[in-house]
Structure 1
Amino acid sequence: MEKMFKISLLGFIVCGSQLSLANDFWSDDRQWLLGDWGGERTQLESNGYKFIAAITSEAATNLDGGYNKNHTFENAAQLALGVNFDLNKIAGWENTTAALMLTKRDGNALTMSRIKDPRSSALGNNQEIYGRGKIWRLTQAWIKTESNDHKVQFKIGRMGMSEDFNASHCEFQNLLLCGGQLGKSIGSIWYNWPVSVWAANVKYQFSPDWTISTGVYEVNPDNAKAKSDSDGFNLDMNNVEGAMIPVELTWKPKLEFFNGLAGEYKLGALYSTAEAKDIKNAGEIHEGKYSFWLNAQQKLTQKENDAKRGLYVSVNAAFNDKATTTVESTQQLALWYKGAFDSRPNDTIGLGFANYVVNKRAREYQTAVNESRGYDHYQAFATDYIPVQHGELNVELNYSYQWSPAVMLRPNLQYVYQPAGVKEVDNAWVAGLTMRVNF
C-alpha cells in the first residue's frame, strides 16, 4: 500500500504540474498549484466549502558529527487532505464551523539513523514532520460554535491538543522550534498533529484583551498506535486511562502596548488524571501528572507601512512533573524577519535556539541500571548499556523562499549539541530543506 501511495502521489503531482503549466504556473501570486479549477474552487469557498490539499517534505543530511558519521540523506513527508465547512453558509447555523482532515506520513528521520545513539530515547529531531507512524490518520473531525458577541467559543470532536492549547508558530524544520512544545516532552499523553483524540474545549473572552480557555481531552494510548491504517481511524474509547485537563490564559494587548505592534502572551497548566509511573523508582505509581507552560510572541519592528513585514520574536517554555517525566523542561527562543528584502517581501529569515533539560531523577535511574549491569562509564558497543542523558541544544538558521502562496522552499542549517543528551556523542551539523506545496 505504501508503494501504491508513492506512485499515486507522484502521478498526482506530475499531472497537476502539467495542468498548472497551462495556467500561469510560474505566477508569484498563484494561490494553489492546481489553480482555481476554472473558478469552481472560489465558488465552493464562497458557498462554505474550503478544500485543503498540501504536501510537506523535509529532507536532511549529516555534514559532521553525530553517533554515526557515515553521510546519508533522509526525507520525511506528509500529505494532508481536508475540508473546512462554514455551516452558516451551508446550513444557516450562525457562527458555526467544522473541519475534517486526513493525513498520511512517510519517510525516515536523520536523527534516528545517524545523529543520536540508537540506544537512547530521542529528544529532538531535525525533521519535525517525522513521527507517529507511516499511516493514514483522521487528524481532525470537529465542530465549533461561537456566541453572537464572539466572546464564548465551544469546540467538540476529534482534535490535536496543540490546536487550542500551548500553540506556537512554526517557522523552522527542527522539532522543538516548530509548534507546541508539550508534545515533544510529554508525548506519551499529549498528542500534537497528526494524532487526534476525543475532546471538548471552551474559550471565554472576558475582556477585549484577555481570554481564558479550558477543556477535557481523553488520555488513551490507542490513539498513538501506528501499526496499520486502522489505528489512525480508531474512534473507540475502550482503553481510556483518564482525562487531560488544560487551562490557558491569553493576553493580546492593545496595539498601544508595543508601539502599535501585535503580540500574544499565554500562560497555561494541565493536569492528567491518568496513572503515571515514577521516573526513578520502578513500580511506584502516581495518581496523575502535571505541566506548566509559557508562550509569548511579539512583533518587534515593522518595515515602513507594511504590517506583514518586520522582525518577530517568540519565547516558549514548558515545565513538567519531575516525578513522572524524563524531560524536565524545554526552552525556546526564535527570531524571524519577514520581508527583509524589498524584492522578496514574503520571504523570511529565521534563527532559533531550543533546549531540552533531562530530569536528574531520570539520569540517576539510567546510572543505577548501568551499574547493576557492571558498567561505570560509557559503553560504545554494549547493547544492554543505557546512555546517560543530560540536555540537548538545537540551533537552526534558515531562509524561507516563498515562491508563491502555493510553494515554499526553506533551506536550513542546524547544529545539535549533545544529541539525545548524551555527552559522549559528537555534536552534529545538519543541512536541511523543507518544501511545502498547496495544491
Structure 2
Amino acid sequence: MKANLKFRIASVAGAVVMAACATGAQAYDFSNSPYLLGDWGGLRTSLADKGVTFNLGYGGEAAHNATGGTRHLTRYTDQWVIGTTLDLDKLVGWGGATFQATITDRNGRNLGDDAEIGNNMLLQEVYGRGQTWHLTQFWLEQKLFDERLAIKAGRVTVGEDFFSFSCDFQNLTFCGSQPGNLVGGYWVNWPTSQWGARVKFSPTQDVYGQIGVYQVNPKYVDDHYARHHGLSLDNPSGTTGALIPLEFGWLPSVAGRPGSYKVGVWYNTSRGQDLYEDVNGQAMGVTGDPAREHDGQYGAYLSLQQQITGEPGGRGATVFLNVSQADQATAQVDRQWALGVQYKGPFGRLQDSIGVAVGATHNNGRYADYVHQVNARTGSNTVVGDDYEYAGELYYSWSPVRSVFLRPNVQYVMHPGGTSRNSNAFILGLKTGITF
C-alpha cells in the first residue's frame, strides 16, 4: 500500500514538473491553458469549433488519521474521468441539442473504514459506489424557445441538476449534492447514474423551476452489480419506484457579484421500511416483528451561495449555507447542514483559493432507539449514534498551472457517527486534480 501511495504521489508530482518544463520551453502557454496536454497542435480547438470537446481528468485524495479510530493509517483513493460533449447544432445542424457521455474509474481505499473511525461522511469524498468503472453520463438535452425550456433524458446523476454544488472540499459534508449524503440509496450522485429525465423552465435568466423523474433501483448502488455491469446501458430488474425532485432557483447579481439561491423538495414513490415501528405499530426492537412499511419517502433542502467581496466572478470571498432534511420515519441519517466560505485569489494568486467550512450530520434517534432495544433483547453491543457528527475542514488550493491543483487540507471530526463513544478524529489530507 505504501509503495502504491508513493507511486501515485510521484505521478502527480511528475505531472506538475512536466507542466512546468513545458511552460519553460514555451511550446504552449500551459500556465493559462485549461489542459495539461495543451491544444494538440490546434486539433483540440478545431474539433471544438466543429462541436466536439473532450474531458480527461484525474483526481486523487490522500488522508492520514492522526488521532481517532483504532489505527493511525494513510489511505489513498482516486478517480479517472473520460468524457465527450457533442454540440449537435455544430455537428449536424440539430439546433439547441447537446449530447454528453462520461465514464469514470475509481480505485483505492477508504481511511474511515480501515482506521475504524466510525464516521458517517467520507473523509475522502471521491471514494465509494464501487471502486470500479461506471457509466456516469449518457444523456441528450434539447433546449427550446430561446433556451427558456430545457429537456434532458438518459443515464444521469441526480446531483448534476438538483442541488448541484461544487466538490472543492475533501470531506463529503461539504461536497456535491447534499440529499445524496442522507438518502444515497435512492438519490444517486456521481459517479453512479440511473435512467431519468428532467424538465427545466427559465422565464428569465435569473429565475428557474425544474422537475425530474428518476428510476429507483437498488442495483445501481450495489458494489457487486457495479463491478460487473458498471458500464452497461441495460435496465436491470428490481425497480422499486421513482424519485421525483422539484427545485426552484434564483440566480441574482448583488453589486455585480453572482449568487445562487435554491429550494427544493423530493418524493420517492418506493415503499420504505420504518426504523422503529413494526407492522402492528409497536417497538420493533422489542417485538422482533417485521417493520411497518410506508408508501413513500421524502425530504426538503435549501442551498444559498453568494459572492460578497471582490470582483464579480473573480477574486473575492463567497459564502454558502446548505441544509437538508429527510423524513424521520425511514432515513437513518436524517439531517445535515454545512456553512462555509471560499476565497479566490489569495496573495495575488488568481488560480489559488482558500476554503473553510463547518457542518453537522444527524443520526436519527428513532433508529438508535431500535438498535438499543435489539441490544437489550439479544445481548449484542452494536454502537449507533443518536446525535450529530460534527465536521470542519480548512484547505489551501495551489495551482502551479491552470490545469493542475494541489490542495492540502486538515479535517476535524467530532463524535464520528453521531456518538461520543467514537473518538474524535484529526485528519491530514491532500486533494489533487489534473485536467489533461
Match among 180, 188, 193 for residue 190 of structure 2: 193
Distance 1:333 1:13, change over 3 A: closer
Deviation at 1:336, TM superposition (A): 0.5
Query: Any residues of structure 2 matched to 1:116-127 within 5 Å, and which?
Result: 116-117=117-118, 122-127=119-124
Are 1:324 and 2:330 matched, yes or no? yes
Please say if 1:370 is aligned against 2:375: yes
- Aligned-pair CA distance for 1:31: 2.5
Q: Is contact 1:355–1:394 with CA below 8 Å preserved after alignment?
A: yes
In the alignment, which residue of structure 2 is the partner of 1:4?
none
The answer as to whether partners of 1:83 and 1:101 remain within 8 angstroms in 2 is yes
Task: Find the counterpart in structure 2 of residue 203 from structure 1.
Answer: 200
| More displaced 10-residue stretch of structure 1: 98-107 or 387-396 | 387-396
Q: Is the 8 A contact 1:267 1:294 kept in 2?
A: yes
| 2:280 paired residue number | none
Give the drift of 1:35.
2.0
Task: Give matches, 1:392-403, under 5 Å.
Answer: 392-403=389-400
Partner-residue secondary structure (3-state), 2:203: coil
Match in the other structure for 1:262: 258
* Deviates most, 272-281 or 18-27: 18-27
Asked if 1:40 corresponds to 2:48, the answer is no
**Residue 276 (structure 1) aligned to one of 265, 272, 276:** 272
Once the two structures are TM-superposed, the CA of residue 307 in structure 1 deviates from its matched residue by 3.8
Deviation at 1:123, TM superposition (A): 1.3
Aligned equivalent of 1:380: none
CA gap of 1:409–1:270, structure 2 versus 1, over 3 A, is: same
Residue in 1 aligned with 2:231? Answer: 233
Q: How does 1:359-438 map to 2 (within 5 A)?
A: 359-374=364-379, 385-438=382-435
Query: Aligned partner of 1:84: which letter?
Result: T
Q: Helix, strand or coil for the counterpart of 1:89?
A: helix
Quote the offset at 1:29 in angstroms.
1.6
Alpha-carbon shift at residue 374 of structure 1 (Å): 3.2
Query: What is the letter of the counterpart of residue 362 of structure 1?
Result: Y
Establish whether residue 337 from structure 1 lines up as the match of residue 343 from structure 2.
Answer: yes
Taking the aligned partners of 1:143 and 1:237, their CA distance within structure 2 comes to 21
Using the alignment, how far apart are the partners of 1:26 and 1:162 within structure 2? 34
1:214 aligned counterpart, secondary structure = strand
Identity, in percent, stands at 34
For residue 61 of structure 1, the aligned residue among 60, 64, 86 is 64
Q: 2:210 aligns with which of 209, 213, 229?
A: 213
Partners of 1:126 and 1:174 within 8 A in 2: yes
- Which of residues 324, 342, 352 in structure 2 aligns to 1:347? 352
Aligned AA (1:129)? V
Over 3 Å off, 4+ runs: 10-27, 386-389
Separation in 2 of the partners of 1:134 and 1:429?
25
**288-297 vs 40-49, which deviates more?**
40-49
The answer to whether 1:74 aligns with 2:75 is: yes
Q: Name the stretch that deviates more: 10-19 or 199-208.
A: 10-19
- CA drift of 1:14 comes to 7.2
Instruction: Return the match for 2:301 from 287, 293, 304.
Output: 293
The alignment status of 1:103 with 2:111, answered yes or no, reads: no
Displacement of 1:432 in angstroms is 0.2
Structure 1's unaligned 5+ residue stretches are 1-6, 376-383
Letter in 1 for 2:329: A
Taking structure 1 as the reference length, what is the TM-score of the superposition? 0.89
Instruction: Summarize the alignment of residues 48-197 of structure 1 with structure 2, pairs less than 5 Å apart.
Output: 48-64=51-67, 66-68=68-70, 70-117=71-118, 122-197=119-194
Q: Does the Cα contact within 8 Å between 2:16 and 2:404 map onto a contact in 1?
A: no
- Once the two structures are superposed, residues 77-110 of structure 1 have per-residue CA deviations (whole angstroms, 9 ceiling, x without a partner) of 0000010111111110111111000000000111
Normalising by structure 2, we get a TM-score of 0.90
Cα distance, 1:389 vs structure 2: 3.9
Mapped partners of 2:172, 2:416: distance in 1: 13
Name the counterpart of 1:357: 362
* Aligned partners of 1:217 and 1:244 also within 8 Å: yes
Once the two structures are superposed, what CA deviation does each residue of 1:372-413 show, in whole Å capped at 9, x if it has no partner?
1336xxxxxxxx523344210110000011222210110000
Aligned amino acid, residue 356 of structure 1: T
Matched-pair contact (CA < 8 Å) for 2:216–2:243: yes
- In 2 relative to 1, CA 210–351 (structure 1 residues): closer, same or farther, beyond 3 Å? same
Q: Is the 8 A contact 1:156 1:200 kept in 2?
A: yes
Query: Aligned-residue CA RMSD in angstroms?
Result: 2.6
Structure 2 stretches lacking a partner, 5+ long:
1-6, 278-289
Measure how far apart 1:144 and its partner are.
0.4
1:177-221 C-alpha deviation (Å, 9 max, x unpaired) = 011111111011111000000000100112443211001000011
Residue 3 of structure 1: aligned partner: none
3-state SS, counterpart of residue 230 of structure 2: helix
> 2:257 aligns to what SS in structure 1?
coil
Q: SS at 1:67's partner residue?
A: coil
Paired amino acid for 1:39: G
Retained in 2: the 8 A contact 1:17–1:34?
Answer: no
| The one of 30, 34, 53 aligned to 1:31 | 34
